[in-house]
Amino acid sequence: MRDCIFCRIARHEADARVVYEDDRIIAFHDIAPKAPTHLLVVPKQHIRNLADLHLEDEGLIAHLMLSLSDIAHTAGLDNGFRTITNTGPGGHQEVYHLHFHILGGRRLPAL
Written as one letter, the residue type at 79 is: N
List 12, 63, 97, 99, catalytic entry = 99
DSSP bridge pairs for 84: 101
Helix (H) or strand (E) holding 40, with range, is strand 37-43
Half-sphere exposure of 55 (CA within 13 A, CB side): 0
Cα–Cα distance between 71 and 31 in angstroms, integer?
18
* CA distances, 52 to each of 40, 56, 68, 75 (Å): 19, 11, 20, 29
- The reply to whether 99 belongs to the active site is yes
Collapsed DSSP state (helix, strand, coil) of residue 70: helix
Catalytic amino acids?
Answer: 99
